[in-house]
Structure 1
Amino acid sequence: MRVLLIEDDRKLARLIERALRDEHHQVDVAYEGDSGLDMALHGMYDVAVIDWMLPERDGPSICRAIRAAKLSTSLLLLTARSQIEDRVAGLDSGADDYLSKPFAFEELLARVRALGRRFNSTLSSEELRSGELVLDLRAHTARRAAQQLDLTATEWNLLECLIRNSNQALSRQQLLDYVWSYERDVQPSMVDVYVSYLRRKLEQAGKRDPIQTVRGVGYRWVSDYA
């Protein structure tokens, strides 16, 4: 899964990030509320783990903004507050789950897995499918029917992003943010280059090109073609 962590305690953030990566999740980290919200609104995440107390903007206001944008991202709110009224306030802000500090990392990981299962119906624990195309999320391999696809890590991430958002038009910037994770020196034109690489490999393994160009916007994965 793709997970966004918004936590201003950098030591704790590093520990959580490492634990999530050990579970084979893709993780982006923000340390302030405003930057975290910007990433949440543009990064297409499955789950966001959000601390309550943050510089610039607190966790509940981030949850409200994400819900106002009608994103399907699952939200897990972390806080040292443990009173019932605090839990109610956190859940009422739009959080799907609530975890009090201090917590066991095993419980955090279990809650992230549960949120991923509950809110992303296209995701199984190990595979992502679109027609005859299958992505193994643990091994980072892909096959179309019986044919294995020889993809680079960047091509695989691009394919994952497109399939997760099947039949939706994605802008070049959205794809750039997802695949290159906010690397500052990568230009949007790089998306076109890698789409052409991916198309070439997909066409070698199938009859039709499932990546549709959306003029003036970007690209769309057409699931019926896969």
Structure 2
Amino acid sequence: MRILLVSSSETETVYLHKAFRESAHSVHAADNLRYALYLASHEDFDAIVVATLGMNMLTALFDALAELSRLPHAPAVIVALASGTANERARILRAGADACFVQPYSFLEMQERMLALRRASAARSGTAPLDTPMLRLDPLTRDLVEDGKRVLMTKREYLLLECLLRQANAPVARDQLIRYAWADKEDVDPSSVNLVVSRLRRKLELNGFRARVETISRFGYQLAAC
């Protein structure tokens, strides 16, 4: 999943950023709601996680939730509060948040809630955004699955494939792949993409997968999945 993490707490940002990356998510960080809204209006995210928000910032959060709901592809919004009563959490949910946690919360529960919201969104729209008739990614095992065959992906391979699957059978720019699969890095050598793609190709070939990653000259790559 592509996640936008919003937190003014450095400790919470470091913890959640590390936890999401280790779970093979693409994570972008913002330290305030205004910048998060700017990013969300220019790029697509599956979920926005707003963490360690003081109750004195509720008005800003309510305004942000209203704006997020107007986005063409509104992401799921998860709020994690340092403290809050049941009534305060209910107000946040009524304002448009999809889930609200209070510390101490379980990262595992937060992640499963996001995956459940994503499945529900796909079911409502009648689509499975990261599946094709041939291929799917298993977020629990980090496997690529094709007709019953499975192969384990590294975290970087998983993210790169997830990005390619969003536009299966269509070219994806190298810069887009870097922003998605290397969101935790500020400066990425393009050769790093080539290296991961080479590993992916070997895995697909050695495990008898029909899907293949094709090079689009001077542009990027394409996942041929049919």
Q: TM (normalized to structure 1)?
A: 0.63
Shift of 1:184: 1.3
When residues 154 and 62 of structure 1 are mapped into structure 2, their CA distance, relative to the original with a 3 A threshold, is same
1:144-200: CA deviation from partner (whole Å, max 9, x where unpaired): 345554754422321122224446654333221110114112045644554455356
When residues 14 and 174 of structure 1 are mapped into structure 2, their CA distance, relative to the original with a 3 A threshold, is same
Q: Quick one: which of 116, 119, 132 aligns to 2:118?
A: 116
Look up the match of 1:156: 158
Q: Distance in 1 between matches of 2:194 and 2:74?
A: 27
Q: How many residues align?
A: 215
When residues 109 and 162 of structure 1 are mapped into structure 2, their CA distance, relative to the original with a 3 A threshold, is closer
Look up the match of 1:8: 8
Report the AA paired with residue 140 of structure 2: R
Look up the match of 2:141: 139
Look up the match of 1:33: 33
Contact kept? 2:172, 2:220, Cα under 8 Å: yes
2:130 corresponds to 1:105? no
Look up the match of 1:185: 187
In structure 1, the gaps of 5 or more residues are: none
Q: Distance in 2 between matches of 1:194 and 1:177?
A: 14
Q: TM (normalized to structure 2)?
A: 0.63
Contact kept? 2:7, 2:31, Cα under 8 Å: yes
1:16-58: CA deviation from partner (whole Å, max 9, x where unpaired): 5566578x36263432335544554566432211256699xx4
Q: Distance in 2 between matches of 1:135 and 1:182?
A: 21
Look up the match of 2:45: 45
Shift of 1:6: 0.7
Shift of 1:8: 0.8
Contact kept? 2:24, 2:159, Cα under 8 Å: no
When residues 218 and 35 of structure 1 are mapped into structure 2, their CA distance, relative to the original with a 3 A threshold, is farther
When residues 85 and 41 of structure 1 are mapped into structure 2, their CA distance, relative to the original with a 3 A threshold, is same
Identity %: 24
Q: Secondary structure at the match of 1:142?
A: strand
In structure 2, the gaps of 5 or more residues are: none
Contact kept? 2:5, 2:17, Cα under 8 Å: yes
Written as runs of structure 1 = structure 2, the 5 A alignment for 1:74-113 is 74-78=76-80, 95-97=96-98, 99=100, 101=102, 104-105=105-106, 108-109=110-111, 111-113=113-115
When residues 162 and 10 of structure 1 are mapped into structure 2, their CA distance, relative to the original with a 3 A threshold, is same
